[in-house]
Amino acid sequence: MTSEQQPFYIGRYKVTARLGAGGMGVVYLATDERLHRQVAIKCLQENPTSTNAPQRIRQEALLLAQLNHPNIVQIYDVVENGDDLALVMEYVNGCTLNLWQREHTPSLRQMVALLKQICHGLARAHGAGIIHRDLKADNILVDENNTAKITDFGIAKHWREHSDLTREQHIAGSWGAMSPEQALNKPLDNRCDLFALGVLAYRLLCGQNPFGDHESAFVIVDRIVNNPHPPASKLNPDLPAALSQLLDCLLAKDPDKRPLHASAVAEELGNILQQLAGDAGERTVSLTATVTAEAFHSRRRRFGNLRHWLAGGGIAAVAGSVLAGALLLGQSKPALSGQYIAIVAPAESQLQTRESRQLGNNVLSALKQDLSNREGLLLVPYSESRQLAGKPLRDQAEALNADLLLHPSLNCNIEQCETSLELIDADSLAVIASRSTLLAVDESTESRARMLQQMNKLLPAHTPRSRTVAFDLSDADYQRYLRVFEHRDDDAHVPQYLDELEQLQQHSPAFTPLYRLFAELAIDQRYNSRDPATTQRLQRFIDRAPAKISDHPDVISARLRLAVYREDRAQAEHLLERLKLILPDRANYHFLKAAFHQHLGDYDEALANADRALTLRRSYTHMVQKAMALSAGGQMDAAKPLLQQALAMSENNIDALSLLAANELDAGRPKTTLRLLTRVGLENLGPMDLYNLCLAHYIERQFERADQCFANQSERSPGDAETLLYRAEIANAQQKPERARTFAEQALATVKGRDDWEGLLMQARAHAELGDAAPAIEKLIRIGRDAPDDIYVNFARAQVYVTTGDLYSAKAHLRKTLDLGLSPIWFQTAPFAPVCGQEGFADLRRDYPDLCSGTRIADSQVAGTGGG
């Protein structure tokens, strides 16, 4: 149809110049000799790569024919010649929006007015049911009268129609302008164009793309899906507050949080124009940025630590233990002051038989219930006391940092136990008061009432705050509950315990401790098994709670665990506010807030609350929480002294030891990690500790030991694809490619069909290991904003990108992990060999000289941990 030597004819139109080229065709300037006007003609390229191009250009013609608006380029005619097709459109004597901004230096009022025009054009298209899907500055033309016109509806569609025309591209749109839902290939409506409008407006008003100018398209899309944009006020302090808020609203990740339609945006821009009209003179845009968008994204620290233990399991376990020991059993006004009281954990030697241990658990349950419900007393979490069992009383008093100690003891024979209660002043260790009673070994529910009677006599000045909730379990069911509670740390049998608790709920749905214990076990099982169905099971369990106990702290604590795990910020904040009203101990409240903010990556807020908790009561639990927040933010060296202090107070503190071991591993000291975890004993290691032990062997190139270790981990957690992927890496390092492929295929089969971010990330790694680059990248894009931006996720993404050959994206994620404190030793493994051999990583090697040096950070003795 066309020849590049002008002039030539397309139909009756005389072509005089070439205006430009796009993804599907070339645009020419021509003259309509019949109507004596200039037109623009869009022709298909001679050898289009897309077999659907003719259908698409016909679709564009049909869509444009429905639209007649001064802010949309009009269509005049369609010219067909055999298989050739051309659109004859309105010629706009002007330039693109980008060029207009550069050449005209527009005022703020002019830019806002132009944006308002674009909104009017969008509103007309959306009113006809048409979404553009590729709204960007290059597709906005501005004529000599400063009139904006939307063009290039090549991938536009009616949002209620299902079309195959864009299936060749999988995801339609330009990478830098698409909405999160476009990037995730989700159903679209008009609000996807409003997000693109936000990107366009942000660039116009702030001079930068809100998601930076990284050269990798995948990095930009990852930011669009997962990362917030820098506040517009930082890039352009001259913007009115209302305009900055409008940009934030347009750029919301969730379509439901954006404006409903373009006409509403136009109306708001009109209001802003009226405000600007009151300014003296024309306000110009200085663009005095306090930060660049690219620097903002490069420095983000939303999540910080690599190990899964810190990704939530440890946080949830510690937070749950605090709730278990500190929540009230009824509603009350918060007590802002009081004496801390701790229960001294009885030594195991006191409880020789199964019956006596069950009775002991019954007594402890009654004591915790009673002490958490007395005026003027603040109960220290029993989880702290339990770790000190058997130590000298003076050491326990110092570690627990309480004002009073309650020392229960049981002296049992075959039929009965003498139960003694001593109230002790923690400073002098003098006994203030004591009570004793005889309990039959087989007593269950009756023993609780007997213990509560003794407590009333022991603590007459501290009256109960409220009436306790009815105890509605039968003796047999209560014994079952006590057995589950006693063995709650037995990870291998957690599925069985969850079944038992569900059966108990059927019998006694108002027995509130069931909810607290079920939540603790379910969340731990979720992290250990990687099975997303566990959290759904927890949701169903909570939903079955009777309305009369919905405000009980045990039920609230279960809901809080679930909300924090799901990163449901609004729900978690609501539950925390509820707990603020009923938690008498402000230290515990700030502890829970610290854990919540840390899990969501709000590290400044997490540290502030951890410090408030430590100010109110300096305990090793609060020290570990602060160390966790520091570690998550990449400040592992600052966390180390806190962990050492916690271990000095309680050398058996598995939380402190686990975190210290994980930090040493991330810092490139695997020998220290091995020493710390070996000291604990393999039989005492939790799943995440065993995982770190395996990784330490792997980094030390002890491949046989690492492989056996991961094999043991697979037996414990058969649904964990990651152990299989590391076994594949080990097999590759041992020159066993077939074995490696088998493990990668098993890993892919393990997570097949999963749509959560962890499952998708494992699928991406498995596909990359198998050499399937396209599905690997697709899975990474689909992960969405649910995936944390921490060391672990960035490390995995870097590994996928390196393996699939996208060096720009790999380098971006590598740099982030290194900036967050991950040792270069982690990149001295086989999957990252290109880092040391490819020229594209030269700047990274320059910035991190140890990256490919082949040397390793010397392992140092961890002071205060006992060596080993």
Determine the distance from the C-alpha atom of residue 489 to the mean position of all C-alpha atoms in its chain, rounded to a whole number.
Answer: 26
Most confidently modeled of 455-459, 724-728, 826-830? 724-728
| 756 flagged as catalytic | no
Instruction: Quick: pLDDT tens for 491-500.
Output: 678 888 899 9
* Structural domains present in the chain: 8-90 (3.30.200.20), 94-298 (1.10.510.10), 337-465 (3.40.50.10070)
Q: Which of 11-25, 505-519, 580-594 has the highest mean pLDDT?
A: 505-519
Tell me the one-letter amino acid at 739.
R
Coil, strand or helix: which one is 251? coil
pLDDT for 120 equals 95
In the chain, pLDDT over 70 holds for what percent of residues? 80
pLDDT in tens, 315-361: 333 333 333 333 333 333 333 357 889 998 876 555 566 666 777 77
Mean pLDDT computed over 665-669: 86
CA distances from 355 to 109, 358, 360, 768, 798 (A): 81, 5, 9, 54, 54
Q: What is the pLDDT of residue 568?
A: 83
The segment with the largest mean pLDDT, out of 66-75, 196-205, 692-701, is: 196-205
Q: Return the higher-pLDDT residue of 486 and 43.
A: 43
Higher pLDDT, 385 or 287: 385
Which segment of 30-44, 160-174, 284-298 scores lowest on mean pLDDT?
Answer: 160-174
| C-alpha–C-alpha distance, residues 3 and 13, integer Å | 13
What's the average model confidence in pLDDT over 669-697? 83
Phi, psi of 177, rounded to the nearest 5 degrees: -120, -5
pLDDT category at 749 given cuts 50, 70, 90 is: very high
Torsion angle, CA of 676/680/685/689, rounded to 10 degrees? -10
Question: With 0-12 CB in 10 A as exposed, 13-18 as middle and 19+ as buried, what is 397?
Answer: buried
Residue 203, pLDDT above cutoff 60 = yes
What percent of the chain has pLDDT above 90? 20
Q: Is the peptide bond before 670 cis (omega within 30 degrees of 0)?
A: no
pTM (two decimals): 0.55
CA 722 – CA 687 distance, rounded (Å)? 13
What is the Rg, in whole angstroms, of the alpha carbon atoms belonging to the chain? 33
**Nearest-angstrom CA–CA distance, 562 and 439:** 38
Three-state secondary structure call for residue 551: coil
AA identity, residue 182 = Q
In this model, does residue 6 exceed pLDDT 80?
Answer: no
Name the maximum alpha-carbon separation found in the chain.
113
Instruction: Give the tokens for residue 311.
Output: 């990704």
Q: How far is CA 31 from CA 17, 35, 36, 95, 823, in A?
A: 10, 9, 7, 19, 65
Residue 141 confidence (pLDDT): 94
- Beta pairing class for 148-150 and 157-158: unpaired
Distant-in-sequence contacts of 355-358, Cβ < 8 A, 24+ apart: 355/441, 355/442, 356/410, 356/412, 356/417, 356/441, 357/486, 358/444, 358/479, 358/482, 358/483, 358/486
Distance in angstroms (rounded) separating the CA atoms of residues 764 and 697: 24
Of the candidates 753, 747, 799, 735, the one whose C-alpha atom is nearest the C-alpha of residue 773 is: 799
* Annotated catalytic residue, options 83, 84, 134, 475: 134
Run of H or E residues at 680: helix 670-680
**Which ranges of 566-585 does DSSP label H, i.e. alpha helix?**
569-582
Residues ≥6 apart with Cβ < 8 Å to 766: 721, 725, 744, 745, 747, 748, 751
What one-letter code names the amino acid at 644?
Q
Beta bridge partners of 13: 10, 32
| Residue 234 marked ligand-binding | no
Confidence of residue 539 (pLDDT cuts 50, 70, 90): very high
> What does the pLDDT look like over 126-149, one tens digit per residue?
888 888 888 999 899 999 999 999
